[in-house]
Amino acid sequence: MIARVVLADIPYAIDRPYDYLVPEQLEETIRPGCRVTVPFSRNDRITDGIVIALCEASDYPDCKFLCTAEAEPAFSPAFIQLALFIRERYFCTAYEAFRIMIPAGFWFGKNGKRRANDKVTQMARLLTEPAETALVMEQKRKKAPRQAEILDLLNQFEILPVQDLLAFAGSGRDSIRKLANEGIVELFEKEVYRRPVLEAEAREELPELSDEQKRVFMEIRASLTSEKPGLLYGVTGSGKTTVYAHLIQSVLAEGRSAILLVPEIALTPQMLRTFTMWFGDKIALMHSGLSVGERYDEWKRIKRGEASLVIGTRSAVFAPCQDLGLIIMDEEQEESYYSESSPRYRARDIARYRALKENASVLFGSATPDLRSMYHAQKKDYTLFQLSSRYNQNPLPPVHIIDMREELRAGRNSLISRTLHDAILERMTRDEQSILFLNRRGTNQFVTCMECGFVYYCPHCSVAMTWHARQRRLICHYCGTQRRPQSACPNCGGELGYIGAGTQKIEAELEEMFPDTPILRVDADSISGSSHRELFNRFISQKIPIMIGTQMIAKGLNFDNVTLVGILSADQSLYMNDYRSGEKSFSLFTQVIGRCGRSQKPGEAYIQTYTPNNEIIRLAARQDYDAFYQSEIRARSIQDAPPFADWVSITCVGKDERAILVALNRIKSRLMLEFAENQHILINDPSPLPVVRVNDQFRYRLLLSCRLDKYTRRVLSELLKDCSRDREMRGIYLGIETDPLF
């Protein structure tokens, strides 16, 4: 028997299935999807691999024997096909594709052992009949009272964990061992799951759907198919989550399973608490905030069919569900569904592929859909479903635009305008809560000399270091380098100025404005000491008047007592070197505004800006997605940007900036020859990434505008292979990314 194996730790240029002979003792157990170890290279280095197929003969005469094989396959035939799809689409090795599909605990560490093993606990159960047990208890009551207590407990509960049994009986292990030696009690091991802590909630029936929700639910159930995804476009607070729950319930009732994807870990505690009330122990949780053991055990529960609903972030799209029926991607426009490490996959693509191959349905949902999704819906490639009003019939909150130039003219340099200050104070007097949004952590954006213009730049990256007042340090948010600034400019001795503002500075200013008022800050720095669940629970239970945060607080969260939202420094995200900056800003503003007025109390929002006439800000204030879509899609058409063309980034990273530019110009010349007859492919000149140097590595790229068909993929794949063999490319990492994040 021949096993075709894809191998770990080999370059893309030689990545292919390799044939190995299967030893006779393994022929009965080995199957496609099993993990194996094999000898590879002239030195017969032992390497991990995955069997993707078995056959009776090989075209190679001198096949080696594989060494070991695990008894149970980790990957089903469907997941083997998915890995090969990922390899072709995202220009990675097959083993890299397999590696992202299962939790880290499954893989071997440097010591050759799994990073997580099955957890077992010792159990005890009675081997005697009740009458005989009662007789033995009476005999032992005087001479061995602890043994009698153990028997009494087991007589009541039949089976108990030994640790709990001994604790209840107040006994040591000698007592239980003696009972086992006498044949009265049996000791055995049982596998137990390491489960993430779930907040206990009483089970409830699903809430009733409104007339509009019921109409949309029926439309989705009637028309959603595996070939044609659906897009649920509903305003903030329209009750999309309730529609999701009813769809999931209908799928589970058919004996099938479902996956619900959320973009941020911050959303999983609230979403999980809600869905636990409705679906109980059917839920499995998958995200990076779990321990290695918890992720491993949740994955096993799903694979064994013990959990039929998976809730998680991007990686949950690979959950090994039994008979998958539905995948829902909430807030589908979010960039967190894009992987920024190899393989750079898109959860949207994986969801669509799995649905097609496993006869499941896909539903994307958002109040501000990705422009490409709405474009496909308008072209009838997706089925569009719409919720146009809030669930409780409350109106969308009115939004006021505050011109910060007027604040400067009035001599106010505060980051909080007088109007917003008064609005916050009014909410505090009514015992209501406010959310302030600023998408930059730290205290100041950078530190500069007010005389010569010197700026503290990171010594390893081409960015200014951010000042964190609480830590009294400058920190680079790219490589983590830290340092303390001097008391005066190191260049000319002049006075240092602290420019820009982050969440820490806003927090300090609010503490001065509202002394003795509790304030909660939610950003990457505050999360490091607490979980999202702890912070949000504090905000709710303690009725903290003000929460300031980054995009972690912008979407999906539901706080009944929040009646005010303030967007600070709205301009900073609008003028970035990214063709999607307008789309991202509009989505972010709309989502943040939607956090207020979600219950019975009406809400109100304020946008602070230095460009009050900016079209995107005005459309966000009106929460007019349809007008924004029409404006933005016209601009994309003129740019020949997605969805009108596919964009591909060919990125080179290395320490020698000149060598990178030479390499990219050579690549451009080669591609121009390859595509000389194709007038629809545009190849731009080499250009730096927005941050050109990170960790002493320079980063440049070629940007292609093309139609990413099979021929184009083949050309790019051959380019990647040839460059990996090219001696002039030594020391340069070359990567190809489809639909790149800017």
Three-state helix/strand/coil letters over 36-52:
EEEEECCCCEEEEEEEE
Average pLDDT, the chain: 88
Whole-Å CA distances, 131 to 135, 151, 152, 158, 169:
6, 12, 12, 14, 21
Around 365, how many Cα atoms within 13 Å sit in the side-chain half-sphere?
29
Check residue 122 and report its DSSP letter: E
> Measured between alpha carbons, how far apart are the two ends of the chain, in Å?
48
Q: Which sign does the torsion angle of CA 337, 340, 341, 346 carry?
A: positive
The tens digit of pLDDT for each residue in 653-684 reads 999 999 999 999 999 999 999 998 887 889 99
Q: Is the pLDDT of residue 203 over 80?
A: no
Question: Diameter of the chain by CA atoms?
Answer: 98
- Reading the block at residue 138, the tokens are 């009476």
Check residue 30 and report its DSSP letter: -
DSSP secondary structure string for all residues of 389-414: S-TT-PPPPPEEEEEHHHHHHTT---
Query: For residue 317, which of 283, 355, 290, 344 has the smallest C-alpha distance?
Result: 355
The domain 211-387 belongs to what CATH superfamily? Answer: P-loop containing nucleotide triphosphate hydrolases (3.40.50.300)
Q: Are 502 and 440 in contact (CB under 8 A)?
A: yes
Q: pLDDT higher for 355 or 468? A: 355
Helix (H, G, I), strand (E, B) or coil at 381: coil
Give whichever of 51-65, 172-186, 348-362, 455-469 has the largest mean pLDDT: 348-362
- Reading the block at residue 516, the tokens are 């003795």
Task: Read off the pLDDT band of 129 (50, 70, 90).
Answer: confident
DSSP secondary structure string for all residues of 351-377: HHHHHHHHT-EEEEEESS--HHHHHHH
Q: What CATH number was assigned to the domain covering residues 646-738? A: 3.30.70.590
Helix/strand/coil (H/E/C) assignment for every residue in 690-715: EEEEECCEEEEEEEEEECCCHHHHHH
Tell me the one-letter amino acid at 606. Answer: Y
pLDDT given for residue 72 in this prediction: 86
Model pTM score: 0.88
- In terms of DSSP H, where are the helices of 10-128? 77-90, 94-99
- Reading the block at residue 619, the tokens are 């459309």
399-443+501-636 and 2-101 share a CATH fold: no
Domain ranges of the chain: 2-101, 120-191, 211-387, 399-443+501-636, 446-495, 646-738
**High-pLDDT (> 90) share of the chain, %:** 51
Q: Can you tell me the distance from the alpha carbon of 527 to that of 506, in angstroms, rounded to the nearest whole number?
A: 17
15-24, 382-391, 663-672: range with lowest mean pLDDT: 382-391
Helix/strand/coil (H/E/C) assignment for every residue in 550-571: CHHHCCCCCCCCEEEEEECCHH
Q: What CATH number was assigned to the domain covering residues 399-443+501-636? A: 3.40.50.300
pLDDT given for residue 198 in this prediction: 65
Cis omega (within 30 of 0) for bond into 740: no
The tens digit of pLDDT for each residue in 298-312 reads 998 999 999 999 999
The domain 2-101 belongs to what CATH superfamily? Answer: PriA, 3(prime) DNA-binding domain (3.40.1440.60)
Q: Is the pLDDT of residue 200 over 60?
A: no
The tens digit of pLDDT for each residue in 506-545 reads 888 999 999 989 999 888 777 765 567 778 888 888 999 9
